[in-house]
Amino acid sequence: MSKKIITLHVNGKDREVAVDERESLYETLRNELRLTSIKKGCEVGECGACSVLLNGRCVDSCIYLTMWAQGKDIVTVEGLKDETNGDITDVQKEFIKQAAVQCGFCTPGFILKAVEIVGANKPYTRSEIKELITGNLCRCTGYMNIVTAIEHAIKHNMDKLGIPYEVQPATTSFDLPDEEKEKMLKDVLAMQNNDVTKV
């Protein structure tokens, strides 16, 4: 079967790709555009590792045809970084701060789901967050710190919107105050900066 040339709107840019009509969005984005943050965990829509945002909603790209994505706004984790100044989103920062990352393989999928959740501008409770992320599987974290990271990201957004929102207190006496984590995050981000023109 001959390939078709189509245009996809990915991470803010129009990209022309040659696709087989039977191809999944997972295959096109990874193989043609080399967006390797999209991961394969099951290929049948069970694990959520291949999540991408389509018009702001998460879909499993492994069971979504590329042809259907034409004309839609596609976002992957590669597209979350601000290319002009290197900034990353509150969601990503909180995943770093709350130790919500272990092996990191499910992380891009969870981050996109969290971006969708935070973007809803709703003060979700912990149990609502758990329900919302239930289509993403993680084997390392027990979801505990992922939920905490999302709570904190929601908190930033609620603060901006002026809506009262409380995160759950820590469930271990070994947790650090948030200010200390914030300080360490600044160091982590500073380590990533190699641009002397940017302080």
Partner 1 sequence: MDYIGKSNLRVDAYAKVTGNAKYSADLAPRDAYIAKVLHSTIANGEVVSMDVSEAKKVPGVIGVFTCFDVPDVEFPTAGHPWSVEESHQDIADRKLLNKRVRLYGDDIAAVVAEDNVACDRALKLIKVEYKEYPVHTDARSMLNDKDAPVLHPNWRKDNIIAHTAFNSSEYFNYDEVKKNAITKYGEENLIEVVKNVKTPRISHSHIELPVSYAYVDANGKVTVVASTQIPHIGRRVIAQALNIPWGKVRVIKPYIGGGFGNKQDMLYEPLNAWLSVKCGGHPVLLEISREETIVCTRTRHPMDGDLRALATKDGRLLCRELINYSTNGGYAAHGHSITAKCAGIFKNLYRDELGVRSEAYTVWTNAPTSAAMRAYGVPQAVSFAETLTDDICVKGGFDPYKFRMDNICDENTSAGGAMFYTYGLKKCMEIGAEKIGWTKKREEYKNQTGPIRRGIGMCCFIYQTAVAPIALETSTVRMILNQDGSMQLSIGATEIGQGADTAFTQICAESTGISPDKVFIMSSQDTDVTPFDTGAYGSRQTYVTGNSIKECGILFKKKICEYALTMEEEKSLAGKKIDDLDVFENYVVDKNTKEKLVSLEKLSTTAFYSFKHNQHITAEKTTDITTNTFASGCTFVDVEVDMPLGIINIKDIISVHDSGTLINPALATAQVHGGMSMSLGYGMSEELILDPKTGKPYNDNLLEYKIPTAMDSPDFKVEFVVMKDPTGGYGNKALGEPPTVAPAVAIRNAVLNATGIGFNEFPLTAQRLVHEFKEKGMI
Q: Which residues of the shown chain bind partner 1 in the complex (CB under 8 A)?
A: 31, 35-37, 39-44, 46-47, 49, 76-78, 80-81, 88, 92, 95-97, 99, 101-108, 111, 126, 129-131, 133-134, 136-147, 168, 171-176, 180-181, 184-185, 187-189, 191-192
Considering the complex, state which of residue 4 and residue 161 has its C-beta at the smaller distance from partner 1: 4
Q: How far apart are the first and last CA of the chain?
A: 53
d(CA 157, CA 115): 11
Place of tokens 């200010």: 179
Nearer to partner 1, 6 or 137 (CB): 137
36 neighbors 77 (Cβ within 8 angstroms): no
By beta-carbon proximity to partner 1, the closer residue of 55 and 168 is: 168
Give the residue among 74, 73, 107, 75 at the shortest CA–CA distance from 91.
Answer: 107
Q: How far apart are CA 116 and CA 195, in angstroms?
A: 31
Smallest separation, CB 166 to partner 1 (Å): 15
Nearest approach, Cβ of 65 to partner 1 (angstroms)? Answer: 15
Beta carbon of residue 26, minimum distance to partner 1 (angstroms, whole number): 12
